[in-house]
Amino acid sequence: MREAWIIDGVRSPRGRGKKGVGSLSDVHPQRIMAQVLNGLKEKVGFDPADVEDVVAGCCGGGGDHAMDIARMSVLDAEWPISVPGITLHRHCGAGQQAVTYAAMGIISGHQELMIGGGVESMSRYCPDHTDGFTANNKHLYELYPMVPQGISADLIATVEGFSREDVDAYAVQSQERTAVSIEEGRFDNSLVPIYHLDGTLALDKDEHPRPGSTVESLGSLNPSFLAMGTNLFIEGQEKTFDQICCEIYPEIKEVNHVHHAGNSSGVVDGASAILLSSPDYAKAHGLKPRARIVMSATSGTEPIIMLTGPGPAAEICLKKAGMTTDDIDLFEVNEAFAAVALKVQKDLNIDNEIYNVNGGAIALGHPIGGTGPMLIQTVLDELERRDKSTALIAMCTGGGMGTATIIERI
């Protein structure tokens, strides 16, 4: 059976996703992705003309993210015009799915050298608050009256019995672990700086972490989704989002709103890219692999609670690979919201010492389409640092889905 090898990966720093405040907010997302592609080329030394496709995850879809941003970024990077690009949308799992599709192309024998990556400039990302998640499809809304993700996260916390203290404690752990990782330079191997058009430095380090966060300081923050959940948020809305949640989950009497800016993933700008190769191409061109893609999987889950997909996706992935959680040295699960990470850890019974050991998106931020490849790079760097072998990466996505990937060092 053919394999897909991970040769290497790079990412931009994560800049705060607020226009005029974040250091990357005035850098076009095509430019950010283009510089990441060139950073990967410079780090590895491959010939871009040999890349058979650049697969990139992106959720923005419009505005500065439009027009197939994967292809536009290839052109912006001044790579040969023969290099194509395709953009994928699987909500938050788009970038991880991009790596999977790139690997599938290689494993199938259709391609030899591929890039899987992703990009999102959240400072330029303005989703339309329609009915929550169905994009004004009244028939779909009658079937599944989906709610915004923050409400879904609070619903998970309510159903699972996670308290405000539980989610805040997890968030503090994320900040503390991230602070140690930054201090020890654990992210440096994958980081490439991003520059303005005039050549001046825009950002060379992650901008979102808040070291020194405590349970006490987080306790002063008001719940972010209380008003959204308890009021008629959209014109013509007949039921509040909380009422919808309680109708779908009658075992709860009300939604306990526990999430806020300090225990939810940070809003940031960023991009990432991973070079994947067939063994034959790598050997013929002197490329040294770091890992192989062992297995990948996706799952669909109940779309109102929405964010419970990582656990089922991980279980499917493990089963397909003939493995159990005991075979995994490190787990990297996207910290979309604290309750999401807590639920996956609880459901899979994962030891805290091998779970999101460098912190996660609560501290570092979540550039939506760009996050998946970042998680793969982070855990691969950590496997090498610890001299361990195998990792599982999983993410929740909008619409009630999950993505999972198992990698193994070579």
State whether the Cα torsion 152-157-159-163 is positive or negative: negative
Which amino acid is present at 246? C
State whether the Cα torsion 81-83-84-88 is positive or negative: negative
- What secondary structure does DSSP assign to 362-395, as a single string? HHH---GGGHHHHHHHHHHHHHHHHT--EEEEEE
Q: Are 38 and 90 in contact (CB under 8 A)?
A: no
Which residue in 245, 246, 317, 396 is the catalytic one?
A: 396
Q: Are 280 and 374 in contact (CB under 8 A)?
A: no
User: 């992705």: which residue's tokens?
Assistant: 33
Backbone φ, ψ for residue 52 (5° rounding):
-90, -20
Give the three-state DSSP class for 118.
strand
Q: Name the token pair of 324.
A: 């159990």
Q: Name the token pair of 163.
A: 């308290």
Q: Is 396 a catalytic residue?
A: yes
DSSP β-bridge partners for residue 337? 264
DSSP β-bridge partners for residue 271? 119
Give the three-state DSSP class for 227.
helix
H or E stretch including 333?
Answer: strand 330-333
Q: Is 126 a catalytic residue?
A: no
Which residue in 58, 92, 246, 317 is the catalytic one?
A: 92
User: 């159903």: which residue's tokens?
Assistant: 159
Active-site amino acid positions:
92, 366, 396
